[in-house]
Amino acid sequence: QKEVEQDPGPLSVPEGAIVSLNCTYSNSAFQYFMWYRQYSRKGPELLMYTYSSGNKEDGRFTAQVDKSSKYISLFIRDSQPSDSATYLCAMSGDLIDSQGGSEKLVFGKGTKLTVNP
């Protein structure tokens, strides 16, 4: 079983739709969960960052983590054409120390999203 699984899509939705993106993982040591947005041939841009289980909301974006099911989600409300990109989930285990060090990120393959006007 792969460590992080993510449906690659592609996913195509009309403008204004609610988008749901998901990842599953197998390593129960993961505690930090991130969603990145990546445009073609660009660096991943951090969207959301959550620790352990629960929800986090930031504008039109909501991240959910269910550690018991090893399942994380990103919801995008009122999707816009500018949201069209590849969305990557990433996760890591414990922090290394109090100086800001985090363990390596393990990424999903990414879901390509297109929002049509």
CB of residue 8 to other proteins, shortest distance in Å: 9
Minimum separation from the CB atom of position 117 to other proteins (A): 27
Q: Are 56 and 63 in contact (CB under 8 A)?
A: yes
Give the shortest CB-31-to-other proteins separation in angstroms: 11
CA–CA dist 87, 74 (Å, integer)? 9
Measured from the CB atom, the residue of 79 and 91 that comes closer to other proteins is 91
Which residue, among 87, 76, 79, 75, has the nearest Cα to 38 in the 3D structure?
Answer: 87
Contact track, other proteins, 16-55, x by CB under 8 A: ----------------x-x-x----xxxxxx--x------
Q: Which residue intervals of 15-100 are DSSP H helices?
A: none
- Taking CA atoms, 93 is separated from 18, 28, 52, 90, in Å, by 30, 9, 10, 11
- The binding site for other proteins (CB under 8 A) comprises 32, 34, 36, 41-46, 49, 88, 90, 95-96, 99-110
